[in-house]
Amino acid sequence: MSEFRKAKKSVEVTAGESVRILRELQELSQNALAELTGIPQSTISAIENDRVRLGVERSKVLARALRCHPAVLVFPGWDVDVESAA
């Protein structure tokens, strides 16, 4: 196990794409997510297509419904060095 090799990033994901990916993995439609969050379906569509910014408050609401940490949605490509991780 001492031969740790960091995985290579193969794809860049936007905040909107991360919302869509998590929603689809949980087999939720945009309408179902809208019902869970109170965010209109049209806004969810706009977020997923990067026409509207996700924002901190929306990320909190969506993260609760998608059962993830808001940072997963806001910073999908965030990379933390092992040495600096707490």
Averaged pLDDT, groups of 10, the chain, 86 residues long: 70 90 96 97 97 94 95 79 53
Please state the CATH superfamily assignment of the domain spanning residues 15-74 in this structure.
lambda repressor-like DNA-binding domains (1.10.260.40)
Given this model, what pLDDT does residue 41 score?
98
CA angle 19, 85, 74 (to 5 degrees): 20
Given this model, what pLDDT does residue 17 score?
94
DSSP letter string over the chain? Answer: -----PPPP-----HHHHHHHHHHHTT--HHHHHHHH---HHHHHHHHTTSS---HHHHHHHHHHHTS-HHHHH-TT----TTT--
Given this model, what pLDDT does residue 9 score?
65
Given this model, what pLDDT does residue 80 score?
59
Domain residue extents for the chain: 15-74
Given this model, what pLDDT does residue 78 score?
73
